[in-house]
Structure 1
């Protein structure tokens, strides 16, 4: 098999893992897409590969930045500290093994709520902050996912251009 075809297949798989990773934080997300774009550009060593890499990286960077800005601003606004998020992640990872499929998300929400309750000593206030944090993180994931899909689309257009147009 041709090394460029192998690089195309590997890149496609990495992009699929990256798209899933944006939603499921256990998998690498946008970083996988960036690596896939670079692998493909290095394998092709032509204008199509490097243009796809450059344009795709703009989307990857925009998605990561949008996610961080949207989430961080809302978390700061609601005064949710990083340690509460970390507790949510740890409980989410544990929940993944306790409740198949949805354990990560349920565990994260429960861990976040418990951490905020211990910190604030008021359930209503902790619940409000936790819901705001979950909404902010969901909005950040949606922004990053949209940009990740755009980067994947750029790669798909590049594949069609390289294999069928040129």
Structure 2
């Protein structure tokens, strides 16, 4: 495999890692695609094994991504309507301020929905903070899994 291909694979993986924390960029999918692209070019047992492990880890990530925040949010009383309003506000923020506007839009939508639901600033802020903590844990888990996959890829390239 050529150096150019390895550099491009590395860039895809790096963009995937950045995509984990950027709204609208499918980070884990890009990390997996980078490993897939590399393993299809490499065609070794180690490459296919790394792809299988990456696939299993990302499937585990998807399960955890849906289970952990959902439990934390249900415990804090966050409703689906609140999340729908927050997602709508994130979409509006994305349109008004491309890419970076999604985060403040989501925060504003989440707080507004909780303020309407709970009626006062204090409880709405606590509920918003708890929801953000649950979402933050999901992003952190996703980032750690993608970093593990990328580190395994680097090890396979260097030592393989």
> Does structure 1 retain, via aligned residues, the 8 Å contact 2:19–2:25?
yes
CA distance in 2, matches of 1:84, 1:18: 29
Q: CA deviation at 1:60?
A: 2.4
Would the alpha carbon gap of residues 150 and 54 (structure 1) be closer, same or farther in structure 2, given more than 3 Å must change? same
Query: Which consecutive unaligned segments of at least 5 residues does structure 2 have?
Result: none
Corresponding residue for residue 93 of structure 2: 95
- How do 1:71-150 residues align onto structure 2 when only pairs under 5 Å count? 71-96=69-94, 103-150=101-148
Q: CA deviation at 1:153?
A: 0.4
> Does structure 2 retain, via aligned residues, the 8 Å contact 1:22–1:28?
yes
> Does structure 1 retain, via aligned residues, the 8 Å contact 2:69–2:137?
yes
SS in 2 for 1:80: coil
TM-score, length basis structure 2: 0.84
- How do 1:55-66 residues align onto structure 2 when only pairs under 5 Å count? 55-66=53-64
CA distance in 1, matches of 2:52, 2:58: 10
CA distance in 1, matches of 2:9, 2:36: 9
Deviations, residues 66-105 of structure 1 (Å, cap 9, x unaligned): 3322211101111212332232233234334656885332
Q: Is 2:74 the counterpart of 1:52?
A: no
Query: Which consecutive unaligned segments of at least 5 residues does structure 1 have?
Result: none
- How do 1:148-159 residues align onto structure 2 when only pairs under 5 Å count? 148-159=146-157
CA distance in 1, matches of 2:92, 2:133: 22
Runs (4+) of structure 1 exceeding 4 A deviation are 4-7, 96-102
> Does structure 2 retain, via aligned residues, the 8 Å contact 1:33–1:60?
no
How many residues align structurally? 160
CA RMSD of aligned residues (A): 2.4
